[in-house]
């Protein structure tokens, strides 16, 4: 999914065939990842028959980046074992 996001971030829009050529996975796997990214709101698709063009959903992407930034600041307890 990260590879798909990186690829989509590098262009304005992209159709499925272009994504599947870029990502070394089976078409069905790429399709499933696109569906999950769309479900999460990170990407969006527009139908331009006979193709679906995908792009980053920039508003949701900015929000996700903000949340990840805040999440990365959380300090976690580290359990140390003595050998």
Q: Are 17 and 5 in contact (CB under 8 A)?
A: no
In terms of pLDDT, which residue wins out, 59 or 48? Answer: 59
pLDDT in tens, 7-29: 999 988 999 999 999 999 999 99
| 82 burial via Cβ count (<10 Å: 0-12, 13-18, 19+) | exposed
Instruction: Note the pTM of the prediction, 2 decimals.
Output: 0.77
């Amino acid at each position: 999914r990260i590879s798909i996001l990186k690829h989509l971030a590098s262009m304005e829009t992209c159709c499925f065939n272009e994504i599947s050529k870029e990502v070394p996975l089976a078409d069905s796997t790429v399709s499933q990842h696109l569906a999950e990214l769309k479900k999460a709101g990170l990407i969006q698709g527009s139908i331009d028959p006979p193709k679906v063009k995908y792009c980053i959903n920039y508003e949701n992407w900015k929000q996700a980046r903000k949340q990840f930034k805040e999440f990365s600041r959380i300090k976690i307890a580290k359990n140390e074992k003595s050998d």
